[in-house]
Structure 1
């Protein structure tokens, strides 16, 4: 079963890689937008804050397995199929974007308001404030948020195997559960545990390495 396990592992990495890339590209700006449009901030806008906040909360409130099935039409439209790791990446991305956006927003809220006010007082533009103050000040916390997002994607990718998404979860269901192969079931669980531990360790080490405080 080693070839099947290796193939499933690569499919899992494919799903996580695609979904993480999309969540970073969209989730980071979304998280910043949720923060800077809040009350008392330099781009305060209650309408935008409420609209995007509602959408983020709406997606996060839907259990992933339901979201996975509900997005089949969108998945079919984008990739032309509803099975396989690339197809599963669509739902994984939709689930990860609001999750990561909230983590970014939470990270930005940890910044001392005095730093933001002082930067505004010396005439910094909003873009300069975001680029030179908000992101650098919150980068350690954001890296930890990325780590949490990747770990969540590992769990989501395993669930995607239930509906033919491929990966470790699919292997566990097809061979471990349906064929009552305890060896495969234990092996897949062990692989996921080791993967999560490595991701957590790598994320913490990277976050500490860039923390200049």
Structure 2
């Protein structure tokens, strides 16, 4: 049995779900950037041999990142319910969903950062070292600026992935378009809601990818 909704009610539901999705994606994206970037830099620096060789630290970070990347996100959602409740005080709602979404994205972005830094010409690093440049100088005036296009491209991919994560968060009542699609589209066999959520998610992905690609091209042309 199909349960159609009045257009004004459908509009309100979709608008609320869209804002909740944007909130989850942008908030978790910011946290992923703030946490994942330093982890990725440490992974690069602590290699053996490396600019700051620390094999034990590299093994620990690498193991944690690999574990985080190997877990399916749906499993992570459920496994992190106690931690989410500890941090937020609840497991329902968009703010609660930010916790597993962020922890699921950090390992992915950290590896992207490591790989982006790995593309920086080693000769330029040696030249800065020869001129007396310290580790901080190398990281902030050479590595990160040189890797910026790759980092932005990686962050774009991460944001697109976060849209998918936010949709899956609807499984545990995380709100957003995923929750809307499950409760109204799937459980109530409402094609209006399913089509609306799919279209909006596709538009979000396309906009983020297009903006990210344009920014990367702009930076590349200035070099």
TM-score with structure 2 length normalisation? 0.94
Corresponding residue of 1:178: 187
Residue 159 of structure 1 is aligned with which of 159, 164, 168? 168
CA distance in 2, matches of 1:121, 1:70: 49
CA distance in 1, matches of 2:183, 2:214: 36
**Count of aligned residue pairs for this structure pair:** 213
Structure 2 residue 135 is the aligned partner of structure 1 residue 118 = no
CA distance in 2, matches of 1:127, 1:63: 36
TM-score with structure 1 length normalisation? 0.98
CA distance in 2, matches of 1:82, 1:118: 51
What does 1:1-213 align with in structure 2 at a 5 Å threshold? 1-211=10-220, 212-213=222-223
CA distance in 1, matches of 2:191, 2:51: 57
Cα RMSD over matched residues?
0.7
In structure 2, list runs of 5 or more residues that go unmatched: 1-9
CA distance in 1, matches of 2:39, 2:213: 24
CA distance in 2, matches of 1:80, 1:191: 30
CA distance in 2, matches of 1:16, 1:87: 13
Q: Return the structure number with greater relative CO, CA threshold 8 A, min gap 6.
A: 2
